[in-house]
Amino acid sequence: MNKEKFLKIITYMGIAYNKEFTKEQIEVWYSFLKDYSEEELNNAVKVLVNTEKYLPTIAHIKEQIAKSKLRNMPSAEDEWEEVIKAIHRFGSYREEQALESLNPYTAKVLSYIGYYRVCTSNQEEQTWNKKEFMAEYNVLKDKQIVELQIENKKENLLNG
């Protein structure tokens, strides 16, 4: 994003929070946010202005952008249903095919908790498997948000 578009968005945020940015602050914020598109930054700022009482930090803005990128990621509950369908379709001996049929996050979590274990569990154990799956899936989703916050930054004042 060019600096002119960035200044327009940061000025909007400054007005919304009754905050005037110094030239140095603008430079720092721009160095961390310039790699995002105008639309991504604008949407994140609009959400934060509507939901946060206090001026968001750079990290808050990057987190909001990352969350919006993952907005279409299925819920843990929905993905557990996909796990059950895959188990019924492929059984306990075709793990590789079952994992390939799932989204990568789901396959990773299922591999972690044990495909065979989930396949051979009784109903009571399956309740615990589901709980563990959902917890691990949500942890992985949170980690993905952090990775998205970090990876989009190509350079900043500290390394650029």
For residue 152, the model assigns a pLDDT of 54
pLDDT at residue 154 greater than cutoff 60? no
**Is the separation of the CB atoms in 44 and 64 below 8 Å?**
yes
**Is the separation of the CB atoms in 141 and 122 below 8 Å?**
no
pLDDT at residue 135 greater than cutoff 90? yes
What angle, 0 to 180 degrees and rounded to 10, lies between the N-to-C axes of helices 76-90 and 104-113? 70
Measured CA to CA, the distance from residue 94 to residue 96 in angstroms comes to: 6
Measured CA to CA, the distance from residue 142 to residue 129 in angstroms comes to: 20
For residue 55, the model assigns a pLDDT of 95
Kindly state the tokens that stand for 103.
């989204």
pTM greater than 0.75: no
